Structure 1
C-alpha cells in the first residue's frame, strides 16, 4: 500500500502545495486505515464495508467526531486519486456521509440574571448625580437593553432601529431582517414606555427624533447609529460591575434568553420563530432542547430516586 500513499502525497504536495503538517496528517490517517484492514486485502479489493468498519472502529476507540470526519475526508481524497489514476474501479468512500458534530446548545441567561442587568441599568439611567453626557449614555443603554430582552432582536437590527420602524400606537416594531424577510415584533408595555420616555428625554436634550429615517440610537460615528460592538462592550462592562460572568453575557445570549424564557412560560414555537425572524423552525427548535436539558438537570439534582 505504501507506494499508493506516497504517490498520493506527492500529488497533493505538488498540486496543492500542501504543508508538511498536512502531509503528516494524511499519512497518519491513511496508515491507520491500512493497519485496520486484513493483511491480504489489496487496494483494488477495498470496498465500502471496509471503510464503514474502520469508522465504526474509530467510534469504539473514542475518536472525536472531528477526527472521524478528517479521516473519512482523507480516504475520500485518496480513493478519488486512485480512481483517477485507474488503480481502482471506483471510489468506495464517496457514498459515505461525513459524521457531524451535534449542534451545540446556545448559552442562555437565567431570568434572575437578566433582572439583575435590567435593575442595574435602570439605576444608572435614573441616577441624576452625574454628568449630562453620562445620563444620556445610561438612558440610551437602558432603552436598548429593555428592547432587546422584550423583542429578541438581532443586535444589528436593534442598534440600527429607525423611528419609522416603531408603531407606537400598536406597540410593534417593523423589522427587515436576514434575507430581506420582514416581520412585526411586539414591543411589550414596559419596553414601549421606556422607549417613549427615551424619545421624550432626547427631545429635552435638543436631539429630537421626529423623522421616519432618524436613527433612534444615533451617534456621530460613520454608521450614524450606535455600533454592535459598542453596545456589546457596555453590556459586558455592566455585567462585570454587578458580579456576573461577562464572558457568558452578550447581546446574542440575551436574544437566546428571550426565546428560551418565552418557551419555558408556554409560548407557541411558531410564534417565537416569527418574532426571532428564523426562516426555518428547526433553528428555533434548538431552544426546546435547552429546556429538555434543564428539565433533566432538575430531575437529576432534586428527585429523591435520581441519586439512588
Structure 2
C-alpha cells in the first residue's frame, strides 16, 4: 500500500477511536504520532506490513522505556485489529509486536509536611504588601489540584462559572467523555471565588490566558516554581503529583477505594489501586481499628488434655 493509503487508514482508525471508543484527545494524538512514525519507518508500508517488518519497527524501540514501548505496541495492535475488522487485511500481524509487562511504577509521593510547605508558600505570596492577582490564581489552582484531584487538563479548561459558591461539587466530563461528580472543599471554593473576581465576566474560562485558557505547560511551570519557593525539590512536584497526593492522603485517612475511583474518574479500579502504596503499619492500624470484630475478644478453645 502507498503512504497515502497509510495516511487515509490512520485517519479512519482515529475517527473510530474518537467516535466509538471514546478516546481522549491526548490518546488520539499519541496514537497518531506512533502510527505516523511507524509508517515513516516502513516507507509508507505500515498498513501492509508483515511480522518481519513489525519486528524491525519494534527493534527501534530498544532504548525506550517499558511504558512507551507498551503504548506504541498498543497503538499498532489496535490499528491492525481495526484493519482486520474493516476487511482491509485478511490477517492481523500485531502478534509480532512486543508486550512489555504492565507493572506500573509507584507514583511520586508528597508527605503531609511537603504539602503544608507548598500552601505556606502560597500564603506567603498572598501576604505581600503589593497584591498580585497571579498569586490569587495560584492559590485557586493549588487548592483545586490537591483538594479535588483534578487532572491538569480538566483544571486549566474549567469554565468560568464551573465552581459555584453554594455547591460543594462540580460535574466534569473527563477521559472518554465520562461524567463524574467531584467534591470541592470549602477552602477551594473560597479561593476560586476570590480569584474569579479578577476574571472579566465575558471570559469563557476560569483560568484564561490570551484568547484561550491557561496551558498545561504553564501550569506545570507554576507548580515547579512554587515548589522551589517552598523548599520542596521541584523534580518531586508536578500537577499530577498533587493529584497523587490527593488520592494517597485520602486513602491514608481511611477513604473507600470505590469512592476514590469515582472522584478520580478511573474507568478501571485497577488504576486506582496504584494508590494503595500506604505504609504496611497504616494498613494494619486500619484493620485493627475499623474491622467489625476489632473490639470483640477472640475466643480460644483449648482442647482437653489426653488422659
- TM-score, L = length of structure 1: 0.58
The equivalent residue for 1:208 is 200
Runs of 4+ in 1 over 4 A off after TM superposition: 14-19, 292-296
Is residue 163–residue 170 contact of structure 2 (8 Å, CA) maintained in 1?
yes
Please say if 1:283 is aligned against 2:271.
Answer: yes
In the TM superposition, residue 168 of structure 1 has moved relative to its aligned partner by: 2.6
In the TM superposition, residue 18 of structure 1 has moved relative to its aligned partner by: 4.6
- Which consecutive unaligned segments of at least 5 residues does structure 1 have? 1-11, 26-65, 70-93, 299-308
- Which consecutive unaligned segments of at least 5 residues does structure 2 have? 1-49, 70-94, 286-307
The equivalent residue for 2:156 is 159
- Out of 278-287 and 118-127, give the one that drifted further: 118-127
Relative to structure 1, is the Cα distance of residues 261 and 18 closer, same or farther in structure 2, using a 3 angstrom cutoff? closer
User: Superposed, which structure 2 residues align to 1:170-181 within 5 Å?
Assistant: 170-181=167-178
Q: Which one has a larger percent helix, Structure 1 or Structure 2?
A: 1
Is residue 173–residue 185 contact of structure 1 (8 Å, CA) maintained in 2?
yes
Distance 2:254 2:116 in 1: 20
In the TM superposition, residue 241 of structure 1 has moved relative to its aligned partner by: 2.4
In the TM superposition, residue 102 of structure 1 has moved relative to its aligned partner by: 2.8
Who wins on radius of gyration, i.e. which is larger? Answer: 1
After superposition, the CA RMSD in angstroms is: 3.6
Distance 2:153 2:250 in 1: 22
The equivalent residue for 1:41 is none
Give the total of aligned pairs.
206
The equivalent residue for 2:216 is 228
The equivalent residue for 1:113 is 114
The equivalent residue for 1:33 is none
- TM-score, L = length of structure 2: 0.59
Distance 1:149 1:189 in 2: 13
Is residue 141–residue 231 contact of structure 1 (8 Å, CA) maintained in 2?
no
Is residue 136–residue 191 contact of structure 2 (8 Å, CA) maintained in 1?
no
Is residue 171–residue 189 contact of structure 1 (8 Å, CA) maintained in 2?
yes
In the TM superposition, residue 252 of structure 1 has moved relative to its aligned partner by: 0.2
Distance 1:179 1:261 in 2: 26
Distance 2:175 2:55 in 1: 38
In the TM superposition, residue 139 of structure 1 has moved relative to its aligned partner by: 1.2
SS at match of 1:263: helix
